[in-house]
Amino acid sequence: MLNRPRQAVGLDIGTSRVRCVIGEPAEGGKMNIVGMGHAESKGLRSGIVTTTKAVVESISKAVEEAERVSGLEVEMATVNLSGEHLQGESKSGVVAVAGAGREISEDDVERAIESASAMQLPAGWEIVDRLPQEFIIDGQDGITEPIGMRGSRLEALVHVVSSPSAASQNIIKAVHKAGLEIEQMILEPLAASTGTLTDDDTEYGCALVNMGSEITSMMIFGRGAVQHTAVFPFGGMQFTKDIATGLRVSISDAEQIKRATGCVAGFLLSEEERKEVIEITPVGRSETRELSMEILCDILQPRAVELLQYIAQEVANSGQQISSGVILTGGSAAIRGMVEVAEQVFDAPTRVGYPRTDILGGLVDGLENPEWSVAVGLALTSMQSRMGSPADTGRSTGRKVAEWFENIRGKFK
């Protein structure tokens, strides 16, 4: 076991890019960014390792860049856990509290959480996180810190997330081969939430939607805790492919067109913009063709509506209230018009989830982009758990439970 260094390192291994953020604790529970690096990602499909060697190289490049910027050597990182098979389920478990005065101990709480998460899993699956929502003592609900309270019946409500074990094992292998230890693995949407959400968002309820390249993950929060998890097998790559097919251009040209001029909301285009012309070079041709912004938008808008409707349906099916609305993050939240279309589809206030610059200092330039939310969230999680204090960096009521839970999580593994 390595000594924990002062720095917190977040390593976001995504399907399109690997990102590394190095942070140092600063006053008031804040984090100073001292280094960051990124590299094109190879060897992953929908967040799952398909070629270890390529993933190792991408990790090494991103980490080396962050090391160069910071002048530090990275030995250990907090890493994202992704994959389209992640499944969340909210469960409850009850235990009797015994002993003098019937004061609830850490052991009782552990037993209650264990009882809530006793479940039959398919072969090759594992529980990857147990996120306490609240505790109920002798019928009194809404309790977040049960230890030391009196009672005879303790019930735990827990959001249990499971995944095929191969997903984490292959990431662990790649990170180790890149010469790094893993401090913790954190569910990607949970890391994105730590990187972007305020206490009010998680308390009053919101849907955090992290739209990456090939995967979109969502967590619904309420009363300071995770209430629902869902993963969708699509992301920004869908738009790139639509452009490539619709305009007969290469994937790399399509990606460039999407980023430079793509817009998924026709109603945002002014009259002049509608007629603005883009030059494209179809595959196998040497001469260019002209295309109006309006046509590009006609290709992208129906897809945006379709994907967002899937997500909105999941929110509706969850039955959760999202008074704080929808927070869209991940690289694909940056496509022009995405928030505006989402606002209509969800019929709820919607905003882009940027890394929380209110609690970040140092080298924040360049990180003010939703594609950095996960890496920043991973570094923040690492910093919070080593500080052991409920810094103002995310959850409110759930925060303390979650932090305390960090410490006992290992015992269940």
Ligand X SMILES: Nc1ncnc2c1ncn2[C@@H]1O[C@H](COP(=O)(O)OP(=O)(O)OP(=O)(O)O)[C@@H](O)[C@H]1O
Pairing type for strands 181-187 and 76-81 reads parallel
Q: Note whether 353 binds ligand X by CB under 6 A.
A: no
Q: Note whether 14 binds Mg ion by CB under 5 A.
A: yes
* CA–CA gap between residue 48 and residue 70 (Å, rounded): 29
Q: Note whether 111 binds ligand X by CB under 6 A.
A: no
* CA–CA gap between residue 212 and residue 209 (Å, rounded): 10
- Those residues whose C-beta lies under 8 Å from the C-beta of residue 245, and which sit 6 or more positions away, are none
Token representation of residue 91: 């469960």
Site for ligand X in 54-93 (CB under 6 A): 82
Nearer residue to ligand X within complex by CB, 144 or 373: 373
Residue 375 C-beta: closest distance to ligand X, Å: 9
Binding mask 370-389 for ligand X (x = CB under 6 A): -x------------------
Binding mask 130-169 for ligand X (x = CB under 6 A): ----------------------------------------
Q: Spell out a b/e string for 117-150, using b for 16 or more CB atoms within 10 Å of the CB, else e.
A: beeeeeeebebbbbbbbbbbbeeeeebbebeebe
Site for ligand X in 250-269 (CB under 6 A): 255, 258-259, 262
Q: Can you state the angle between helices 293-318 and 338-346, rounded to 10 degrees?
A: 40
* CA–CA gap between residue 20 and residue 41 (Å, rounded): 12
Nearer residue to ligand X within complex by CB, 48 or 157: 48
C-alpha closest to that of 77 among 158, 23, 31: 23
Q: Decide if 399 contacts 380 (C-beta within 8 A).
A: no
- Residue 86 is which amino acid? L
Nearer residue to ligand X within complex by CB, 230 or 401: 230
Q: Note whether 235 binds ligand X by CB under 6 A.
A: yes
Report the residue from 10, 37, 146, 212 that binds ligand X according to the rule CB under 6 A: 212
Residue 332 touches which of ligand X, Mg ion, none (CB < 5 to 8 A by kind)?
ligand X
Residue 235 touches which of Mg ion, ligand X, none (CB < 5 to 8 A by kind)?
ligand X
Report the residue from 206, 219, 226, 334 that binds ligand X according to the rule CB under 6 A: 334
Residue 330 C-beta: closest distance to ligand X, Å: 4
Q: Decide if 111 contacts 135 (C-beta within 8 A).
A: no
Q: Decide if 348 contacts 320 (C-beta within 8 A).
A: no
Q: Decide if 238 contacts 252 (C-beta within 8 A).
A: no
- Please choose, out of 14-22, 97-105, 146-154, 401-409, the segment that lies near Mg ion by the rule CB under 5 A: 14-22
- Please choose, out of 13-21, 22-30, 278-286, 319-327, the segment that lies near ligand X by the rule CB under 6 A: 13-21
Q: Decide if 383 contacts 25 (C-beta within 8 A).
A: yes
Residue 143 C-beta: closest distance to ligand X, Å: 35
Measured from each CB, the residue nearest to Mg ion is 212
Residue 296 C-beta: closest distance to ligand X, Å: 12
Supply the DSSP symbol for 389: S
Q: Decide if 233 contacts 211 (C-beta within 8 A).
A: no
Report the residue from 10, 47, 164, 189 that binds ligand X according to the rule CB under 6 A: 47
C-alpha closest to that of 333 among 312, 304, 294, 301: 304
Residues near ligand X (CB under 6 A): 14-17, 41, 47, 82, 212-215, 235-237, 240, 255, 258-259, 262, 330-332, 334-335, 371
Residues near Mg ion (CB under 5 A): 14, 212
